[in-house]
């Protein structure tokens, strides 16, 4: 199949193409299966995300605020308790859902290092990919969570189809991906005189926006029922806080976001945060594109 479209950027031998065939942006040429498998099995958490597990533990209060609100939203869409976390990492969210809130949860994770951490937490996590999982597991789930997964895989359409196959009637799929090439990002990097830092090769293969993610689900017979997003971090570049060049600025920017969200929760002002984020999502802005998809009843 020929993947052609407008070239949005290039780095080395790779270009990011707004593909006329796939109807979302992706790398061209694609990395090989061997390159991707080696990267996620051996390098992702040992090199690219080497401080990730420690940062998760340090951010426990903030992350659990996010998890709690995610589960609250999901509970308004289904009463089911069977949950699958695709690309669960070390199982931080899965642990919160199962051990703190009683969900019947399982995870899938390709990183051997992350699986070892999840096992120490007493979690049921399959070490491998979604396609290898579906070959040997036939159970269905009321909730499937896919956070920061589709941007990494060679065929996100096929991955969404597999998730639909594992979804029980009336179930919900939560999908979160980076909302890339959005106006806030573009404004920020131009203002700071930086390259598009969200282009991460070979880490990120696909680059979505709200509409392209929604359309992907629709092509598979899934109904997008709700949009949400997260703090538009690239706005800090507009105000002169260059977190791309300066790690100290990056930590400061994160702490500002963290204090804002924790403060909204503490002083019962979450309605302000939700109003802002849902307005941004409606406009196609925000750092991530979050879509809740429903299966046919």
Residue 111 has pLDDT above 90, yes or no: no
Whole-angstrom distance, CA of residue 250 vs CA of residue 55: 14
Residue 40 has pLDDT above 90, yes or no: no
Residue 297 has pLDDT above 70, yes or no: no
- 169-182 b/e (C-beta count within 10 Å ≥ 16 → b): eebbbbbbbbbbbb
Domain ranges, ordered by start, for the chain: 5-294
Residues 217-268: pLDDT tens digits? Answer: 999 999 999 999 999 999 999 999 999 999 999 999 999 999 999 999 999 9
CB 60, CB 131: distance < 8 Å: no
pTM of the model: 0.94
Q: What is the pLDDT of residue 35?
A: 73
Mean model confidence pLDDT for the chain: 93
CB 114, CB 149: distance < 8 Å: no
Q: Helices (H) and strands (E) in the chain — how many of each?
A: 12, 11
Which residue would you say has higher pLDDT here, 110 or 108? 108
CA distances to 42, 43, 84, 113, 219 from 50, in Å: 11, 9, 25, 11, 36
* Range in 53-62, 81-90, 119-128, 264-273 with the lowest mean pLDDT: 53-62
5-294 belongs to CATH 3.40.50.150: yes
Residues 126-176: pLDDT tens digits? Answer: 999 999 999 989 899 999 999 999 999 999 999 999 999 999 999 999 999
φ/ψ (deg, to 5) at 129: -100, 170
Which one, of 89, 88, 90, lies nearest residue 117 by Cα?
90
Total number of residues shown for the chain: 297
Assign 192 a pLDDT band (cuts: 50, 70, 90): very high
- 247-283 b/e (C-beta count within 10 Å ≥ 16 → b): eebbeebbeebeeebeebeeeeeeeebeebbeebbee
Q: What is the pLDDT of residue 49?
A: 57
**Cis peptide leading into residue 89 (ω within 30°):** no
For the chain, what percent of residues have pLDDT higher than 90? 84
Q: What is the pLDDT of residue 42?
A: 60
Q: What is the mean pLDDT of residues 46-66?
A: 77
Place of tokens 């498998």: 37
- 36-63-131 Cα angle (round to 5): 30
φ/ψ (deg, to 5) at 183: -60, -35
Q: What is the mean pLDDT of residues 78-99?
A: 96
């Amino acid at each position: 199949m020929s993947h052609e479209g407008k070239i949005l950027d290039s780095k080395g031998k790779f270009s990011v193409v707004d593909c006329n065939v796939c109807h979302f942006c992706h790398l061209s040429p694609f990395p090989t299966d061997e390159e991707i498998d080696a990267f996620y099995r051996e390098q992702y958490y040992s090199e690219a995300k080497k401080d990730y597990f420690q940062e998760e533990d340090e951010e426990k209060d903030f992350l659990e605020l996010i998890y709690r609100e995610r589960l609250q939203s999901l509970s308004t869409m289904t009463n089911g308790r069977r949950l699958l976390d695709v690309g669960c990492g070390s199982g931080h969210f899965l642990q919160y859902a199962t051990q703190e809130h009683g969900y019947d949860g399982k995870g899938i994770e390709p990183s051997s290092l992350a699986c070892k951490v999840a096992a120490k937490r007493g979690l049921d996590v399959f070490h491998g990919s979604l396609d290898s999982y579906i070959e040997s597991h036939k159970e269905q789930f009321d909730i499937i969570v896919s956070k920061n997964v589709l941007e990494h895989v060679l065929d996100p359409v096929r991955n969404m189809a597999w998730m639909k196959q594992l979804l029980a009637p009336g179930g919900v799929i939560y999908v979160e991906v980076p909302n890339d090439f959005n106006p806030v990002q573009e404004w920020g990097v131009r203002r700071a005189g930086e390259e598009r830092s969200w282009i991460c090769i070979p880490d990120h293969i696909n680059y979505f926006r709200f509409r392209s993610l929604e359309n992907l689900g629709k092509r598979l017979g899934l109904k997008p029922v709700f949009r949400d997003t997260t703090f538009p971090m690239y706005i800090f570049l507009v105000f002169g806080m260059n977190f791309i060049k300066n790690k100290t600025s990056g930590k400061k920017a994160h702490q500002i976001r963290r204090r804002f969200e924790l403060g909204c929760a503490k002083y019962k002002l979450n309605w302000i945060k939700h109003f802002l984020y849902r307005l941004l999502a409606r406009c196609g802005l925000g750092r991530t594109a979050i879509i809740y998809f429903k299966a046919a009843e």
